[in-house]
């Protein structure tokens, strides 16, 4: 369905591409008085199951702690068997609470969010004629409000396990986070872009109602895998993730291995790079920052020991401090999760 709003899905993708094309021209040492500037330090890293392809952070089990969702693939690019794992930190490792298996796509998504505007009404129990029912307070079951969207379906957490609601929308790429409103699933690219929500557990198309003064930002759900319509920040910097909450206004890129100018001449691993709005843009929303000089580089990591597959923001070990997390392929199927926490 073609949107009739001020900012259509097609314009949105063009906007994201325009932002990406300007970032490579920024001076990383400009405007140190900028309140958005931040640096990060490596807080911890821990192994994940072999062949983990994507991860996501969200309080799935209805508590305040971020659970860690893992999408497990295979070594073969032609093997589309996938497993979805819900895990939590038990003090020593990420312990598995539930799993689901399905057949995936060539470019898999993994996105958790609030996409439902209503739920099916629960049927009331049948009354018997033997005796009048006693008056008592019946607590309505609390349905999970977080949905998990994968190539194998849309799931929610219920009764200690996953419940599959419906098929996913096609060619899912990212979601739109809108404070105080439902999140939106964004699919396809160009003229084929569409947005979706859930109604009574069923997937429906929706119009995109955005204007430049609204708060919000895109949340990428496909990691760093290339696909048609995806633009990089620069030739060598992949657009990996966005986070736009309060003073934490981050565009996160991945500088691919071998391009960061190692003085020894040996190939580097991938690096993370964080861009922030300049000080003069403090009152602008994400959608208003479209000029080439709106952003500046805030921080970049040392080389990581491998290829970055996915980047997300959260607190999966309940440390009380948000982290910038990267899933790293260290070779031979081995995966490691790195957490960088802000220091200013």
Considering the entire predicted model, what is its pTM? 0.86
Q: What pLDDT does residue 227 have?
A: 76
The angle at the Cα of 206, spanning 54 to 175, to the nearest 5 degrees, equals 20
* Span 89-130, pLDDT tens digits: 999 999 999 999 999 999 999 999 999 876 654 444 444 444
* Span 23-43, pLDDT tens digits: 544 444 445 689 999 999 999
Residue 70 phi, psi (nearest 5): -125, 135
* Span 241-278, pLDDT tens digits: 999 999 999 999 999 987 544 444 445 799 999 999 99
Contact 324, 301 (CB under 8 A): no
d(CA 103, CA 118): 28
Mean pLDDT of 232-237: 82
Residue 113 makes CB contacts below 8 A (sequence gap 6+) with 58, 146, 147, 149, 175, 177, 183, 219
Q: How many CB atoms lie within 10 A of CB 213?
A: 10
Question: Structure tokens of 57?
Answer: 């952070």
DSSP string, 174-190: EEEE-TTS--EEEES-G
State the residue for tokens 């129990």: 125
């Amino acid at each position: 369905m073609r949107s009739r709003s001020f900012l259509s899905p097609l314009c949105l993708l063009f906007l994201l591409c325009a932002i990406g094309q300007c970032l490579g021209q920024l001076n990383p040492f400009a405007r140190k008085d900028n309140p958005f500037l931040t640096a990060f330090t490596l807080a911890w890293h821990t192994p994940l199951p072999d062949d983990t392809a994507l991860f996501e952070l969200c309080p799935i089990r209805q508590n305040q702690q971020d659970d860690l969702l893992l999408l497990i693939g295979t070594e073969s690019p032609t093997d589309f068997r996938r497993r979805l794992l819900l895990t939590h930190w038990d003090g020593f490792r990420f312990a598995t609470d539930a799993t689901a298996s399905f057949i995936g796509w060539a470019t898999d998504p993994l996105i958790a969010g609030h996409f439902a505007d209503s739920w099916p009404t629960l049927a009331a129990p049948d009354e018997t004629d033997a005796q009048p029912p006693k008056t008592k307070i019946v607590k309505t079951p609390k349905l999970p409000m977080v949905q998990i969207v994968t190539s194998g379906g849309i799931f929610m957490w219920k009764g200690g396990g996953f419940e599959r609601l419906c098929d996913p929308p096609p060619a899912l790429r990212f979601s739109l986070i809108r404070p105080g409103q439902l999140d939106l699933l964004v699919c396809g690219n160009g003229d084929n872009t569409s947005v979706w929500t859930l109604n009574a557990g069923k997937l429906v198309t929706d119009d995109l109602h955005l204007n430049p003064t609204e708060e919000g930002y895109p949340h990428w759900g496909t990691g760093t895998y290339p696909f048609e319509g995806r633009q990089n920040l620069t030739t060598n910097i992949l657009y990996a993730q966005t986070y736009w909450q309060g003073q934490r206004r981050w565009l996160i890129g991945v500088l691919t291995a071998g391009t960061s100018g190692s003085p020894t001449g040996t190939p580097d691993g991938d690096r993370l790079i964080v861009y922030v709005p300049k000080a003069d843009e403090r009152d602008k929303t994400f959608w208003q920052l479209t000029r080439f000089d709106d952003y500046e580089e805030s921080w970049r990591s040392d080389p990581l020991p491998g290829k970055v597959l996915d980047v997300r923001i959260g607190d999966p070990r309940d440390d009380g401090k948000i982290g910038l997390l990267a899933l790293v392929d260290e070779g031979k199927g081995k995966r490691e999760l790195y957490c960088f926490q802000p220091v200013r």
